[in-house]
Amino acid sequence: MGSFVPALNIFATFLSDASYAFLVGTCLARYWLRAEAVPASLLRGLGAVLLGVLIVCHLVRPWFIASSMSGSTRFRETLALVPAVLSTRQGGLWYTNSIALAILLGIHFIGGSRAVWAGAVALCALAVTKAASSHASEQGDFSTPEVAQFLHLAATSVWAGAVVVSGFWVVPRFAVNRTLSALWRYARHLSQTVTWALIILLLSGVYVAWVDMHGTLHPLWSSFWGKLLLTKAALASLAIVLGGWNRFRVLGGPEDTPRAATMAKLLRSEAFVMIGILSLSSMLGNTNPFP
């Protein structure tokens, strides 16, 4: 089992990050569609599946932390260390995540008028604990790198989640059942939100990158980490081009069926690219820039 554990850890990180981002995207899509009289079932089922995946990833995380901290890959030996892990700083963050996930689960089944805000707070709490469990927390809680990391994670989740959920789930179904004007309204919400997310991503990312690379660009060219990052940069550039094309060439034009089909195709392509970006992120988070 030993040699598979690092790969399993990367896969679990990817599942966790992706399901979190897609859950954010699902919530945003539900919010944008609130005035469109779309059946709640359109996104409710997807939200339940994503929340389920997120909870499973959360439940197995202490085992992966124990493996990482102890250097052991033996299942039982590592399982015995889980109580010790739960008494560390990472354990405290895990308990906080448990509360946030319980709130999201409660909202899913109970709902209510305050569900939107409670859900937003719970989703933010998950991003805060993720930032607090990362390298960025080394300078202390609520330090500038940690806050920047939180903004970066939140903006990445908004960008990736909104594009993937819209590209694979909402727009293909939406285009069949709704009017073109409703599709254009949805796409404008998506485009505006993603633009703001990209601005936050840029500002926070430049700062986080500078801190992580210790003020030098050398790891970009000299390490496996750097090559992964440059590949991810190429994919991100492609996603930005696809998104920009949709925003300025398709969304800016008249509302007609050929343009709607082009919009759906571009968005689906961008969604595939975003999944590639999320996969590379999971590998990058477990790779050392300074081997």
Partner 1 sequence: MNFPMTSTLLVAAMLVPAAFAHTAPVTMTPPADSTVSSPPNVTINFSGPLEPKFSSITVTNAAGHVVNKEPSAVGADTKVMTVPLPPLPPGVYTVHWVGVSTDTHRSQGDYKFTVK
Residues 40-69 that bind partner 1 (CB under 8 A): 65, 68-69
Q: Which of 48, 220, 245, 272 binds partner 1 (CB under 8 A)?
A: 220
Which residue is associated with the tokens 């890959």?
73
Q: In the bound complex, what is the minimum distance in angstroms from residue 143's beta carbon to partner 1? A: 12
Tell me if 70 contacts partner 1 by CB under 8 A. yes
Alpha carbon of 185 to those of 36, 121, 175, 182, 190: distances in Å? 9, 26, 12, 5, 9
Amino acid letter, residue 184? W
| Six-digit token string for 191 | 């485009």
8 A C-beta contact, residue 132 and residue 90:
no
| Six-digit token string for 6 | 């690092």
> Which residue number, 47 or 243, has a Cβ lying nearer to partner 1?
243
Q: Which of 4, 40, 88, 117 binds partner 1 (CB under 8 A)?
A: 88
Tell me if 86 contacts partner 1 by CB under 8 A. no
Residue whose C-alpha is closest to residue 279's, from 57, 14, 4, 24: 14
Tell me if 206 contacts partner 1 by CB under 8 A. yes
Tell me if 205 contacts partner 1 by CB under 8 A. yes
Q: Which stretch binds partner 1 (CB under 8 A): 46-54, 117-125, 197-205, 258-266?
A: 197-205
What is the CB-side half-sphere exposure of residue 273 using CA atoms within 13 A?
21
Q: Which of 7, 40, 120, 217 binds partner 1 (CB under 8 A)?
A: 217
Residue whose C-alpha is closest to residue 90's, from 53, 58, 122: 58
Q: In the bound complex, what is the minimum distance in angstroms from residue 246's beta carbon to partner 1? A: 18
Q: Which of 41, 87, 113, 181 binds partner 1 (CB under 8 A)?
A: 87
What distance, in Å, lies between the first and last C-alpha atoms of the chain?
A: 24
Q: In the bound complex, what is the minimum distance in angstroms from residue 131's beta carbon to partner 1? A: 7
State how far the Cα of 167 lies from the Cα of 154, in Å rounded to an integer: 19
Site residues for partner 1 per CB under 8 A: 65, 68-71, 84, 87-90, 131, 133-138, 149, 156, 201-202, 205-206, 208-210, 212-213, 217, 220, 225, 229-230, 232-234, 236-237, 240, 277, 281, 284-290
